[in-house]
């Protein structure tokens, strides 16, 4: 069905009513919007339900292919998690082409650290946290959870992460940063990384340090893959975030950490392509959605 189907279904996906707009979770406090940098996108939004059932707050990154979206766009996800008793913090980040990659990665780590500090300053325990993301946000979540070199560079307390959630997440950085652009020059408008030369191979080599697949496979050789359980929701027919890349990451994590380290929920219906999955996933009531029900049952055992 491909790209034309993605285009045709985008407007209906955004237009679909959300269950929790009509039946919002009990939440007396307005969402808190907190900046962590000078750019307008460098802020996080914190939603807290009146009845907190789980100690571990959720740090989440929005989708949009690193070119659109904002922290506030995760309102549906916030409502869904709040309805299940989770505190939810959507961490924003700068976007291309105004800010080239890896500005988004820096913001993901620095914004998450700022959010943890802010929550702890208000009495929220962050000894255990959940990290998640959608689309490009799934890429950021995977880097926060499994990129040892980035965790060390930003002094991120990865030992606190008790679970990772990916909704149609990008597992191979090249799928997002290189393959959509036909020429080296076009790629350069989005990405600011040093390369050894000007060939496509040089470009692909440069992004490997930001590819969860490559990092996990490399860390597996030294038995140093973070033992963070992962729950993945991905459509087999996803056009924009290839299912094959997600499967490769899942297999690498299972090889490193054991078969039970990853739960892969594959959406077989061909209508569950990228936009349908990423935009509408959190618009259904949890009890009416087999996918969300499975996710929260899995999460409740870990958070």
Exposed e or buried b per residue across 121-136, where buried means at least 16 C-beta atoms within 10 angstroms of its C-beta: eeebebebbbbbbbbb
CA gap 158, 143 in Å, rounded: 11
Pick from 151, 290, 299, 291: which is nearest to 212 by CA?
Answer: 151
Sheet holding 88-91, edge to edge: 32-35, 43-47, 88-91, 58-61, 129-134, 161-167, 230-235, 262-267
The distance of Cα 113 from the centroid of its chain, to the nearest Å, equals 16
E-strand ranges in 3-128 read 32-35, 43-47, 58-61, 88-91
Give the side-chain half-sphere CA count within 13 A for 187. 24
CA gap 293, 29 in Å, rounded: 26
pLDDT (0 to 100) of residue 186 = 80
Helices (H), 16-122: 19-22, 75-83, 103-121
Average pLDDT per 10 consecutive residues for the chain, totaling 303 residues: 69 85 94 97 98 97 95 97 98 95 97 98 97 98 96 97 98 91 80 83 89 89 85 94 96 93 94 89 96 98 92
pLDDT (0 to 100) of residue 98 = 93
Retrieve residue 7's tokens. 């285009």
CA gap 41, 29 in Å, rounded: 22
CA distances from 21 to 77, 276, 284 (A): 11, 18, 10
pLDDT (0 to 100) of residue 1 = 55
Q: What does the domain layout of the chain look like in residue ranges? A: 2-300
CATH architecture of 2-300: 3-Layer(aba) Sandwich (3.40)
CA gap 279, 207 in Å, rounded: 27
């Amino acid at each position: 069905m491909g790209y034309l189907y993605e285009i045709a279904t985008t407007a209906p996906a955004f237009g679909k009513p959300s269950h929790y707009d009509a039946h919002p979770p009990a939440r007396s406090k307005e969402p808190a919007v907190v900046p962590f940098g000078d750019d307008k996108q460098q802020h996080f939004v914190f939603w807290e339900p009146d009845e907190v059932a789980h100690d571990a707050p959720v740090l989440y990154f929005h989708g949009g292919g690193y070119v659109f979206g904002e922290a506030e766009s995760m309102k549906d996800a916030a409502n869904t998690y709040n309805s299940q008793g989770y505190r939810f913090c959507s961490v924003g980040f700068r976007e291309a082409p105004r800010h080239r990659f890896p500005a988004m990665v820096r913001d993901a780590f620095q914004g998450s650290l700022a959010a943890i500090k802010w929550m702890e300053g208000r009495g929220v325990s962050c000894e255990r946290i959940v990290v998640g993301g959608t689309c490009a946000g799934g890429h950021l979540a995977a880097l926060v959870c499994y990129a040892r070199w980035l965790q060390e560079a930003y002094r991120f307390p990865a030992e606190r992460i008790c679970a990772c959630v990916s909704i149609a997440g990008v597992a191979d950085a090249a799928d997002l940063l290189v393959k959509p652009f036909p020429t080296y020059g076009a790629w350069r408008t989005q990405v600011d990384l040093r390369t050894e030369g000007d060939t496509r191979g040089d470009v692909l080599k440069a992004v490997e340090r930001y590819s969860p697949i490559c990092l996990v496979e490399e860390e597996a050789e030294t038995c140093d893959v973070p033992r963070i359980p992962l729950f993945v929701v991905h459509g087999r027919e996803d056009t924009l975030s290839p299912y094959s890349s997600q499967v490769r990451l899942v297999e690498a994590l299972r090889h490193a950490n054991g078969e039970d380290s990853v739960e892969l929920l594959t959406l077989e219906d061909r209508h569950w392509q990228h936009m349908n999955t990423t935009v509408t996933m959190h618009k259904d009531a949890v009890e009416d959605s087999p996918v969300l029900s499975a996710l929260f049952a899995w999460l409740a055992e870990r958070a």
